[in-house]
Chains A and B, each alone.
Chain A
Amino acid sequence: MENIGALSILLAFCLTIFAIAASLVGAWKKKPFLIVSAERAVICVWGLVTVASGLLIYALMTGDYRLAYVAAHSNKAMPMIYKFSAWWGGQEGSLLMWNFILATYALVVVLQNRRKHRAIMPYVTTTMMVTQAFFLMLIAFLVPPFQVLSTGGKAIVDVGDGQGLNPLLQYWTMVIHPPTLYLGYVGYIVPFAFALGSLITRQPGDSWIFTTRRWAIVTWLFQSTGILLGAGWAYSVLGWGGYWGWDPVENASFLPWLTSTAFLHSVTMQEKKGMMKVWNLVLVASTFFLCIFGTFLTRSGIVSSVHAFAQSPIGPYFVAFLTVTIAITILLILSRLDYLKSEAPLESVVSRESSFLFNNLILLASCFAILWGTLFPVISEAIAGEKISVDAPWFNRVNVPIGLALLFLTGVGPLLAWRRSTPDNLKRNFLWPTIGMVATIAGLMAFGISHFYALLSLGLCTFVTWTIVSEFWKGTMAIRQKDGLSFVPAVIELTHRNTRRYGGYIVHMGIVMMFIGFSGAAFNQDTTVEVKVGDKFPLGRYEIKVSDIKMGQNENYIWQNAIVEATVDGKPFATLTPERRIYEKSQQPVSMVAIKRQLNEDLYINFAGMGSESQRPTIQAYVFPLVSWIWAGYWVLLFGSLICLVPAKVKMQYARTEVVGVSTKHVPATK
């Protein structure tokens, strides 16, 4: 079995080389049969990578402990679902999954475009297959997933049982989080490949943008989902209540999200005005390179992280791949600058166009700051000869103001008109949202809240919410007046007419809800106590009592949990059972926190352990205000993104406008 798996990977690698050569020669010599042949090779690559993935999954599920990967990441006692998720639990398996997702995307692109985009498809195929060849090379020659255990390189050894998956990964969100994140990471190659293809062949117009718009949104959605699932996992499993710790691996997933968000906004400028063509190419390429860079960061050992894979020799290969591909992309863009000229001027600084520019600046500033902070310990060691730590306080200090500026622009953007906003227009649009913001801040201050950033954040949340609601309100009222629809059908009709615009507003609303959740962090409360069973301790409005300690075991782990009763004003509020587990194989202790989730605050209890001499339970109790808004915000973001994917009822042929002249007389309203 291991031989078939390894052979499949090797054959797939050879076929990617063939696909690259056939695509390029076919395009150069104008030989369609070579181009079609390359596309068929892409289908075969998918088949071979699927066979290799299937074999590894089979080995994990059936416990083939002759394979080093299975012995290191699975064991008999693990539930079936975690045996499956062990596919991406280690370096070799996760790279195989990377390859599988990439091969699947390539297959879908080839099948979708059998009769479309024939001029650029050879270059799209080449770009995807070059990346595929690189990742297949890694698992074919450097970190093979089908390596068998052997004694002195001679006899194959079956160790009987494995070490099992890292206990921290044995949690339901970890079954979904990595594949979702990888679907995002890998998916960015599609817009990048089409952009390069369009650039090489000097396609007229912006066809690559229209072709890849949905890909970009879907990929962005996967990336957002992956990041949020990771945050949810950290909150529920790591036992400290944080959903974001500015860990290098977390940052690596956030960087391409920021550039792709910038791309999704600035691409509107290209669609509507034919502007920022170079910039959009830079953004789509940066996003792809940041995905590769993130993969490199988590696998090279360059930065220390609890999330990183074990150090392996693949780092220099990533550096070489990134250097070559970045150099080629820069050369291509520079050689095509004449083709990328802007088609329209900017008429006013106070306009929707400008707001997109500032939005991009802020997103990119955040991206740079996070990248800089992540690499600063390495850079400082290389330049100054001493490692300087950059931890959560620094990231918060830099990114909180940037985030608030972004939130402000989220509200400002829709209030500004395309082309230019007049003072009248500004006054009319900004008055009520600003009053709402000031009233919110004043109201919160009246309730005794004085935290500057929290006040500003919640005030801005009101400002943005007001702008979004008023956009829906104005549009809905116009439709009601025109078509005589009742309110809800009018809202649906409005959204359906321009799904990207109104879906986008709903996504913004999701982001606002997340900011409400982030603001709650300013009011966190916590305590760590060692108490006797039956004793009470206070936290915020709660009185907490450990009423019992229980123990037990199953095949996979031994557990001990605390029965914790919380009361509010003497009335029972919740009974929580935080648990400690020790996994039999790895002997690693893991905390399973208990959370009472509410919209206003979460009561979060971690059973840290028993005091060695006192044998009293040590409880870490936290109150996290507004955290649930973050998760609720995700569902709104998901809903909005799905709406963006629905085809609009009204095609925007008139999206690009130009001023042809001005009438000297009063023009009566249209019929």
Chain B
Amino acid sequence: MFRLRNSALALLLAGYCLAQSSSQYVTPEIRRVGSKLACLCGACKNTVATCQMLECHYSLPARQTIAKLQKEGAADDKIIDGFVQREGKKALAEPPNEGFGIMAIAAPVLAVAAGLGLILWFLRRYRQPGVVPAMTDEEVRQYQDQIDKEFSKLD
């Protein structure tokens, strides 16, 4: 079909084959559990479900483990707990709602609340629904002349 100048490179290319079954581990059931687990390969910020590197050294074995445990009838929570036991809380894609993990979501909420508080303070401090004095006819005429003059510059 074609001839390669360097057959060693052809062998190299062949060497970069995917494990035959890697695409089998991208099923909806595996994704459901995998979406709650972080891919810890260090190269992406995806979940085990969304990591698209088929041969990823973390997400592929993780998907295989999920498939195996699902076949054995394990519930989703139990599978996830197993990952947390092995890897620690970093195995979870989102911080848990316990311990210091609560701070992950609490801090931005508190920051927004503090920002709103700051705006309220600003509004109270600087809001001055002005009581404006009534102008005399002479003053009104002067301002009207000024407006006419400025508008005429626009033409």
Contacts and interface: CB of A to CB of B under 8 A. Distances in A.
A560 B13 contact: yes
Contacts of A584: 9
A388 B95 contact: yes
B94 A529 contact: no
Given A349-B123, A558-B9, A247 B104 contact: no
A153 interface: no
Contacts of A609: 16-18, 54-55
B127 A388 contact: no
Given A661-B139, A667-B144, A376 B90 contact: no
B77 interface: no
Interface string B22-45: 110010000000010011101111
A377 B91 CA distance: 12
A394 interface: yes
Contacts of B19: 611-612
A26 interface: no
Contact of B18 (A398, A550, A608, A659): A608
A112 interface: no
A650 B95 contact: no
Given A342-B126, A667-B140, A393 B9 contact: no
Contact of A391 (B9, B16, B38, B116): B38
A644 B22 CA distance: 52
Contact of A663 (B38, B104, B115, B140): B140
Interface in B48-80: 50-55
B94 A393 contact: yes
Contacts of A275: 126
Contact of B129 (A347, A354, A397, A580): A347
Contacts of A389: 38, 40, 89-95
Nearest to A405: B112
A646 interface: no
Contacts of B10: 551, 558
A520 interface: no
A609 B17 CA distance: 6
Given A389-B95, A392-B45, A659 B132 contact: yes
Given A247-B45, A358-B119, A659-B130, A397 B94 contact: yes
Nearest to A608: B54
B119 A368 contact: no
A434 interface: no
Interface string A610-642: 111111001010000000000000000000000
A239 interface: yes
B6 A553 contact: yes
A617 to B, nearest CB: 10
A357 interface: yes
Interface residues of A, number: 81
B95 A240 contact: no
A331 interface: no
Contacts of A347: 127-130
Interface stretch (A73-81, A116-124, A214-222, A378-386): A378-386
Contacts of A397: 94
Given A387-B88, A613-B20, A661-B139, A393 B35 contact: yes
A552 B105 contact: no
A389 B93 CA distance: 6
B47 A391 contact: yes
A390 B104 contact: yes
Nearest to A584: B9
Interface in A482-540: 497, 528-530
A388 B89 contact: yes
A74 B53 CA distance: 27
Given A618-B23, A662-B134, A671-B148, A345 B126 contact: yes
Contacts of A654: 150
A361 B95 contact: no
Q: Which of B18, B134, B137, B154 has its CB near the most chain A CB atoms (within 10 A)? A: B18
A670 interface: yes
Contacts of B46: 240, 242, 245, 391-392
A528 B26 contact: yes
Interface in B116-155: 116, 118-119, 122-123, 126-130, 132-135, 137, 139-140, 143-144, 147-148, 150-151, 154
Contacts of B126: 275, 342, 345-346
Contacts of A240: 44, 46, 50-53
Contact of A550 (B2, B20, B54, B137): B2
A388 B90 contact: yes
Nearest to B92: A389
Given A558-B9, A661-B132, A387 B90 contact: yes
A560 B51 CA distance: 23
A346 B93 contact: no
A348 B18 contact: no
A664 interface: yes
B27 to A, nearest CB: 10
A216 B142 CA distance: 39
Given A387-B89, A389-B93, A667-B140, A241 B52 contact: yes
A558 B50 CA distance: 28
Q: Which of B42, B130, B134 has its CB near the most chain A CB atoms (within 10 A)? A: B130
B115 A361 contact: yes
A316 B89 CA distance: 28
A270 B63 CA distance: 55
Nearest to A560: B13
A610 B18 contact: yes
A665 B135 CA distance: 9
B139 to A, nearest CB: 6
A-B pairs with the 8 shortest C-beta distances? A240-B52, A345-B128, A661-B135, A384-B100, A612-B17, A369-B108, A389-B38, A609-B18
19 contacts: A239-B52, A239-B53, A347-B129, A347-B130, A365-B108, A380-B100, A388-B92, A389-B91, A392-B47, A394-B93, A398-B108, A551-B2, A558-B4, A609-B18, A611-B17, A613-B20, A661-B134, A663-B134, A667-B144
Interface of B: 1-2, 4-6, 9-10, 12-14, 16-20, 22-23, 26, 35, 38-40, 42-47, 50-55, 88-96, 99-101, 103-105, 107-108, 111-112, 115-116, 118-119, 122-123, 126-130, 132-135, 137, 139-140, 143-144, 147-148, 150-151, 154
